[in-house]
Amino acid sequence: MNPQSTLPPTPAALPRTGARNGAGRRGKGRRSEVGLFTGLGHVALAVWAVIVIVPILWTFLASFKNTTEIFSSPWTLPGELRWENYARAWTKANVGRYFLNSVIVVGISTFGTMLFGSMAAYVLARYKFWGNRVIYYLFVSGLAFPVFLALVPLFFVVKNLGLLNTHTGLVLVYIAYSLPFTIFFLAAFFKTLPSSVAEAGIIDGCSHTRLFFQVMLPLAKPGLISLTIFNVIGQWAQYQLPLVLLSNAKDKWVLTQGIADISVNAGYEADWSGLFAALTIAILPMIIVYAIFQRQIQSGLTSGAVK
């Protein structure tokens, strides 16, 4: 047996062992804290999922019931699939017209928002000129301005332009309403794009316009897709602006106005099944759009941080 193996540990070895033990205990403590917060996060997400999914699922099931089933057995499956509820909501309640109006308004306004927002964000992010930061912060300050505070002056501005009770006026307001967030997000995204690509395009003879549309805009495709989906969902669910700007043009109402009108009439006509069918028609398109483009939205939100 080696005689040195029976000797007590040297004083220099004791602190190192204690340090390792202390570091191990601290590491275990951090892992336990991380595990605790992870578990609490999972619980919070589960509760939030229940809060969101249950009302949507209940609305979808109620759209196939009649009024008696809705009030007598609200948590049971419908006795049969009553597709006539959807047909009645689509035709009698004019949901078809409101749906088409929403598609037209949201489609044109989203296109305009992404076109003007991407152009402004690109210039503010890639070009240095006097007043650059001032213009950028003026756009960003729109994020902190509540929409309802501007409804009265906005009403008179649109009225003086002769665009009250028209889809054109609503589209222009939607674009202005959506530009602050679009520019804020895309400006940060354009800053992450490599400058070498832009310099190569300039050397090859690209004009600034051609460089933007043919080189830089395709590189920003993930961010553009994410912002497009967010703008579509936000404008589709907008109620305050069309309520003020389209109040006297019922044939030009969008879907949110139509749903509100149906909910009021449902209390008098007792057509609750038609109301829930109309709500389902309004909700399903956005769920389908988000489900289809979910991966693109996630990649767009994270690609700017990874580059």
pLDDT, tens only, 38-57: 888 888 989 998 998 998 99
45 and 183 part of one domain: no
Residue 3's pLDDT is what? 47
151 and 268 part of one domain: yes
- Pairwise pLDDT comparison (42 vs 306), residue with the higher score: 42
275 lies in some domain: yes
- Encoding tokens for residue 6? 């029976």
41 and 168 part of one domain: no
Residue 1's pLDDT is what? 46
37 and 186 part of one domain: no
Please report, for the domain that includes residue 257, its CATH number: 1.10.3720.10
- DSSP code of residue 79: S
Q: What does the pLDDT look like over 269-299, one tens digit per residue? A: 677 888 899 999 999 988 888 888 777 666 6
Asked if 170 and 241 touch (Cβ cutoff 8 Å), the reply is: yes
9 lies in some domain: no
116 and 41 part of one domain: no
Residue 181's pLDDT is what? 92
37 and 157 part of one domain: no
pLDDT at 74 over 80: yes
pLDDT at 168 over 90: yes
199 and 260 part of one domain: yes
Q: What does the pLDDT look like over 84-141, one tens digit per residue? A: 989 988 988 889 999 999 999 999 999 999 999 999 999 999 898 898 999 999 998 8
Terminal-residue alpha carbon distance, the chain: 60
75 lies in some domain: no
59 lies in some domain: no
111 and 193 part of one domain: yes
Residue 24's pLDDT is what? 56
7 lies in some domain: no
230 lies in some domain: yes
275 and 197 part of one domain: yes
pLDDT band at 306; cut points 50, 70, 90: very low
DSSP 139-201: HHHGGGS-GGGGHHHHHHHHHHTT-TTSHHHHHHHHHHHHHHHHHHHHHHHHHTS-HHHHHHH
Report d(CA 113, CA 116) in Å as an integer: 6
Structural domain span for residue 35: 23-50
98 lies in some domain: yes
14 lies in some domain: no
Q: What does the pLDDT look like over 200-258, one tens digit per residue? A: 888 888 888 888 898 888 888 888 988 999 899 999 999 999 999 998 888 899 999 98
Q: Percent helix, strand and coil across the chain, each rounded to 5?
A: 80, 0, 20
pLDDT at 32 over 60: yes
Indicate the number of domains in the chain.
2
28 and 95 part of one domain: no
The C-alpha torsion from 141 through 147 and 148 to 149, rounded to 10°, is 30
pLDDT band at 307; cut points 50, 70, 90: very low
164 and 221 part of one domain: yes
28 and 91 part of one domain: no
Q: How many CB atoms lie within 10 A of CB 82?
A: 17
Residue 196's pLDDT is what? 85
